[in-house]
Structure 1
Amino acid sequence: MAPPKQVTLGKYFGAKNPPLQPQQTKLSFATKSTPNPPVATADDAEASANEKPDPERQTDDEKPKKKRGRPREVKSEDESDEPVVKKARGRPRKVKSEDESDEPVVKRSRTKKVQIEEKEVEEELKEELEGEPSAKIGSASPKSTKQKAAVPKDSTAKRAKRAKSPVGSVSAKRVATLTDMNGDDVVEDDESTASASASESASDSEGGGLDEKPAIAAKARQKIQAQLKTKSVEHPYPDWEAGSPVPYAALCETFSLIEMTTKRLVITEHCSLFLRQVMRLTPDDLLPTVLLMINKLAPDYAGIELGIGESLIMKAIGETTGRSLQVIKADQKDIGDLGLVAAKSRSTQPTMIKPKALTIRGVHQGLMTIATVAGNGAQGRKVDSIKKLLSAADAHGNTKVDITKDKGGPSETKFLIRFLEGKLRLGLADRTVLVSLAHAIVCHEADQKGMIPSTAEMESGESILKTVYSELPSYNAIIPAALEHGITKLRENCKLRPGVPLKPMLAKPTKAITEVLDRFDGQTFTCEYKYDGERAQIHYVAKDAPQEMCHETPAAAESAADGVASIFSRNSEDLSKKYPDILAKLNTWVKDETKSFVLDCETVAWDMDEKKVLPFQQLMTRKKKNVKVEDVKVKVCVFAFDLLYLNGKPLVEQSLRERRELLHQSFSPVEGEFAFATCMDGQELDEIQIFLDESVKASCEGLMVKMLDGKESGYEPSKRSRNWLK
């Protein structure tokens, strides 16, 4: 048998004759203490794949296992256990692990730490939303020995320093560039910006706060100011008669412009320009305009939902346009956007009598009618209401819609259907609308005085509106107050009030007690049990209280004790129907002098016999709606840890120590029904460790560590703060 062909790379590096069986090894940019074995080229790999080794000259361990009739090459000792696959050309290709990138090992090890931390934070956010524990991603993919050997010793300090930096420094919507020890850039590619922008609204709901990057926010303000200075602003939709309802077509024109871009600055500019036009001509329509822009009919806590399935929407489209359901379904399958399907169907329908043009106020009222209809034949009446809106859509504009041009353009039909589906497909985030509204109000007030606002005034307006919205997340209350009093006096007229749930303050996750001590070094802090239950806000107003419960619907508040009360989830969902037993026993733990309050607490399943906390899974077995007190099998206990409002006064700006003292003064513990969160103000490592062990024994998830004194100990709504750690 002729000896095997000399390996090219082995010859280049001056290696000796190769072994009888050509071996494949992994190419790596990492340096090793021992030389690499010879590596076959692609041509040699193809040649060797067709050669059969002599079985008599091989040991049992060296004999390759056959798979699908092709020989499998033996792995060298230096290789890791990672699988190897071959392309069709025969070139060996290593299968990458989940957290590996395409860069060489040296550079990959520089970015891996940041990638893992980002995943850990994302997993933590998911865990908070679902209320279930999850595995840490950081431990799922341990580093291989090769990667450890590839990291130079002098890079350890730099990597540790980077690990301490905020994870937010690596943006989720841009390409993050990191620099390795040699000054080379290691680029960490992200998903496409367009897809990230399209899902902005969903990401707003989780503790990310309402803050934009300072540089982006500053550019947006400068751009709007420059636009005002030119005094040649052209609105995409011509001015309508002052005082008359805002045409729905004007909003659709703005939506179409937003749909054609993914740039945040451009989107903010379009939104602000349109809102200024609305405030100048028809300020009374500003509220329904903003609600339609954020794809809502009312605040989240109002519980108003359209409750329409795709089949009902298709039925309404078919009955309006005369097209069969089969044809509509086929178009939906081909196009993938029911809004474009409706626009296409509408453009082929002849119109004998033109109905009145749609207005923003009329569309909002029509959609509210669809959402609130109930009783026998409700589905049929919903379809009739949809047909009424679709018949008037695009009746006064260009009925011939080319769905292949500009994504269908400013079609009223398209955006009506998308609103009914609950997805506008614009990438228009709630926080962008909030910032645009602040700019519009500031610019409108300055314009009435014949002035141009400075960027500092716009920044101040943003800050005021964000602060107010975080405490009172209801445009129904904020917009009328802003129109009446102006944005500078908004904080005095819009404060936290019972009946309007604020987004809760969230804690940053930590891995060790030493990390907590480093964060609170030189500060006073407190430790609390982290209970395994459901986060809740209890709002209460006594009948003889000077203030009233604020609610969007007549049945929003339930009778409790000598007043009315509501219970809300962390996502502002009304839980009053889920926990009637809490409301029924409210009078047993609320003191007589407590006339109104907003309580931040945890509802926990409770074992009445053994007097202990039950697992979260037990709590989830309770019904969510229309629960009767006599049917409750899983008892709950309320563990209160913060007081946000008391007797007509918001407390969010007071220190945690002051809020906790008021909490203990205003309520009385009742075993198995109401209790204060177990806390400890010790500052030493040993004390905290003992308290942590006790919390685990008490069936808790761990500890919450909170700043106790000073301005930083104030309650920060809708923010995941470093002043709370867990």
Structure 2
Amino acid sequence: MMKTFDVEAGYFPSKRSDKWLNVKRDYVEGLNDTLDLVPIGAWRGNGRKAGWYSPFLVACFNPETEEYQSVCRVMSGFSDSFYIEVRNLRIGAMLRTVLPAWAHAVAMNSSPTFHQGRTAENLKEKLQVLSMEVVEAYNILPNLDLIVPSLMNKGIDFLVSSLSMVPGIPIKPMLAKITNGIPQALKLFENKAFTCEYKYDGQRAQIHKLVDGSICVFSRNGDETTSRFPDLIDIIKESSKPVASTFVMDAEVVGIDRKNGCRIMSFQELSSRGRGGKDALVTAESIKVDICIFVFDIMFANGEQ
């Protein structure tokens, strides 16, 4: 993972930024480390996944026979909460469209004189700026109960800077741009200072310390996973100094075998840990896979974003 020190670099929630580069292996002719596959079929889920499609059958194209040849079944990778959002009027998918439209409606109805003295071009520009501000506000504070009052109060003058991250409310994670090797990455970061970090094969974890001192953990999709990681909670509490009253951190949780030279374990081994839930908490005694936490960003600390 390569990250630039460019003055415009920062943490951009919910965006795949070219300030972060995920460097993949260089491609060598005759030797590939990836396959281009397409879904050609799917199975309907059972039980709690009834009505959902998972897993999928994927295939590769054979140019000699001009046919698709099935390769394997793969899980969708979507969380339960994602399926629920899609099923419930596809709120998650529609939100980027709904938010700007809703912002326009609030702005135009909040002031009877909104249209006065504005040309059509000026009006369009103001509404576009408002749309971007509202979407960006939702990325750092995905809670309409907090955004709506502020928008109704500020109207067309609403700015994302009027809101801030709130520990306990997960933000949309920043993503890295995929590159095909070192040469491409160096070209993108030409004449820029940058740092390099390992890309670990673990689970993305957004770690929050709340005002009351409690620790919450959220997945990449914004699902709370605190109950799965009692050992993570202990590590964070032991590592945090008293001066750190609140924070929001982005990290990778990786399985580690401390009995064998602190060997970094695979994602599959980490996934074998108990999942826990509202009625079944994971206890420290039941944990068979230890973890290590690699923190790579602090987005919020002691009230400062």
Match of 1:570 among 220, 228, 233: 220
**2:237 is equivalent to residue 582 of structure 1:** no
Higher RCO structure (Cα 8 Å, ≥6 apart):
2
Of the three residues 451, 468, 484, the one matched with 2:137 is 468
Residue 108 (structure 2) aligns with: 443
Query: Is residue 613 of structure 1 aligned with residue 268 of structure 2?
Result: no
Q: Distance in 2 between matches of 1:425 and 1:491?
A: 25
- In 1, the alpha carbon distance for the partners of 2:166 and 2:35 equals 39
- Which residue in the other structure is 2:300 paired with? 645
Contact 2:250 2:295 in 1 (8 A): yes
- Does the C-alpha gap of structure 1 residues 446 and 452 become closer, same or farther in structure 2, counting only changes over 3 Å? farther
**Counterparts of 1:468 and 1:427, CA distance in 2:** 16
Are positions 1:430 and 2:95 aligned together?
A: yes
| Kept after mapping to 2: 8 A contact 1:464/1:487 | no
C-alpha displacement of 1:422: 2.8
Question: 1:137 aligns to what SS in structure 2?
Answer: coil
The TM-score normalised by the length of structure 2 is 0.67
Name the CA shift for 1:522/1:492 in 2 (closer, same or farther; >3 Å): closer
Offset at 1:615? Answer: 0.8
Q: Give aligned pairs, total.
A: 229
2:34 alignment counterpart: 135
Amino acid in structure 2 at the alignment position of 1:628: T
Pick closer, same or farther for the CA change 1:427–1:512 going to 2, 3 Å. Answer: closer
1:524 maps onto 2:174 in alignment: no
**CA RMSD, 1 decimal:** 3.2
Deviation, 1:476, is: 1.5
Tell me whether 1:478 sits opposite 2:144 in the alignment.
no
Contact 1:605 1:637 in 2 (8 A): yes
One of 260, 274, 282 as aligned partner of 1:627: 282
Which residues in structure 2 correspond to 1:121-520 (within 5 Å)?
A: 135-137=34-36, 422-424=87-89, 429-447=94-112, 449=114, 451=116, 454-520=123-189
Change (3 A) 1:573 1:427: closer
- Counterpart mapping for 1:587-602 below 5 A: 587-602=237-252
In 1, distance between residues paired with 2:125 and 2:138?
20
Letter paired with 2:300: Y
How has the CA–CA distance of structure 1 residues 591 and 467 changed in structure 2, closer, same or farther, with 3 Å as cutoff?
same
Task: Say which structure is richer in strand.
Answer: 2
Q: For residues 425 and 592 of structure 1, do their structure 2 counterparts lie closer, same or farther at Cα, with a shift above 3 Å needed?
A: closer
Sequence identity (%): 32
Cα distance between partner residues in 2 of 1:648 and 1:425: 34
Q: Which amino acid aligns with 1:646?
A: A
User: What is the rounded CA distance, in whole Å, between the counterparts of 2:224 and 2:304 in structure 1?
Assistant: 23
Within 5 Å, which residues of 2 pair with 1:523-542?
Answer: 523-542=192-211
SS at match of 1:518: helix
CA contact (8 A) 2:244 2:301 kept: yes
1:425 and 1:496 map into 2 onto residues whose CA distance is 25
C-alpha distance in 2 between matches for 1:585 and 1:518: 39
Q: 2: distance between equivalents of 1:618 and 1:426? A: 34
Q: Report the alpha carbon displacement of residue 527 of structure 1 after superposing the two structures with TM.
A: 0.9
**Rounded Cα–Cα distance in structure 2 between residues aligned with 1:603 and 1:591:** 21
Is the contact between residue 599 and residue 645 of structure 1 (CA under 8 Å) also seen in structure 2?
yes
Q: Distance in 1 between matches of 2:297 and 2:194?
A: 15
SS at match of 2:179: coil
Cα drift, residue 584 of structure 1:
2.4
What is the SS of the residue equivalent to 2:100?
Answer: helix
Kindly state the Cα deviation for residue 486 of structure 1 after the two structures are TM-superposed: 2.9
Q: Is the Cα contact below 8 Å between 1:438 and 1:462 reproduced in 2?
A: yes
User: Within 1, Cα distance between the matches of 2:152 and 2:186?
Assistant: 47
Write the letter of the residue equivalent to 1:637. Answer: C
- Compute the TM-score of the two structures, normalised by the length of structure 1: 0.29
Matches of 1:478 and 1:487, distance apart in 2: 14
SS of match in other structure, 1:521? coil
Cα 1:424–1:492 shift into 2, 3 Å: closer
